């Protein structure tokens, strides 16, 4: 089993990375492999609603000039997904939002049913709003949201300070424990398959 972790911070080894590393180390103790992908500082396109990914049945975004499709491709070999982001004005980074929106829309089959979690890292406030924002897409993809002992929030300003948030680090380890537990139950021999899904019945409220 393997979990893909995405660091949506432009700082390669900042506080978000420190939180993800805590999760990764704890997953390893359970025999669950993990990989941390860095979004870095290069631009990530926003979705422009061209719908070409679906109309052409590409299974990926039609725009292939950033990291989006590379991350989606990794999910073909992963069983769980975690994204971590610093908090900017009470929200995840723009790169985090753009990445998830494009991946889930263009390559949603690679994410469906796989357990997921998000991590918000902040100096002081806005973490709960960012955390809620990152969790909402999971529920539209039938992805079980993995819980912890508290919301997945870590505090720190200067690089490395998040490691001093002892409760935050414990929350990260508990998140990893719960992710490993759920993955093992899902993939246990004789475990029931995922529920059959009804065909989507979309509608809007314009009469």
Q: What tens digit of pLDDT does each residue of 98-131 get? A: 999 999 999 999 999 999 999 999 999 999 999 9
Q: 71 falls in which pLDDT band (50, 70, 90)?
A: very high
For tokens 């359970």, name the residue.
30
Write out pLDDT tens, residues 159-170: 999 999 999 999
Angle at 141 between CA 139 and CA 143, to 5 degrees: 65
Please tell me the distance from the alpha carbon of residue 78 to that of residue 68, in angstroms, as a whole number: 16
CA atoms of 56 and 62, how far apart (whole Å)? 9
For residues 93 and 87, is the Cβ–Cβ distance under 8 A? no
Map out the domains of the chain with their CATH numbers. 2-186 (3.40.50.360)
Taking the C-alpha atoms of residue 142 and residue 145, their distance in angstroms, rounded to an integer, is: 9
Helix (H, G, I), strand (E, B) or coil at 117: strand
| Predicted local distance difference test score (pLDDT) of residue 194 | 84
The better pLDDT of the pair 206, 140 is held by: 140
List of residues 6+ apart from 177 with CB closer than 8 A: 26, 30
């Amino acid at each position: 089993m393997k979990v893909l972790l995405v660091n949506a911070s432009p700082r390669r080894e900042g506080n978000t990375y420190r939180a993800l590393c805590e999760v990764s180390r704890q997953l390893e103790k359970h025999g669950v492999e993990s990989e941390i992908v860095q979004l870095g500082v290069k631009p990530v396109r926003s979705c422009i609603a061209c719908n070409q990914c679906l109309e052409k049945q590409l299974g990926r975004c039609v725009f292939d000039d950033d990291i989006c499709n590379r991350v989606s491709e990794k999910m073909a070999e992963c069983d769980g997904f975690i994204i971590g982001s610093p908090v900017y004005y009470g929200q995840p980074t723009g790169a985090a939002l753009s990445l998830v929106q494009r991946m889930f829309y263009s390559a949603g089959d690679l994410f469906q049913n796989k357990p997921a979690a998000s991590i918000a890292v902040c100096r002081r406030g806005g973490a709960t709003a960012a955390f809620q924002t990152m969790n909402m897409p999971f529920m539209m993809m039938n992805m079980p949201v993995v819980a912890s002992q508290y919301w997945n929030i870590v505090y720190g300003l200067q690089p490395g300070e998040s490691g001093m948030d002892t409760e935050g680090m414990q929350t990260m380890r508990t998140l990893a424990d719960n992710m490993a537990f759920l993955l093992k139950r899902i993939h246990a021999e004789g475990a029931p398959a995922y529920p059959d899904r009804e065909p989507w019945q979309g509608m809007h409220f314009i009469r």
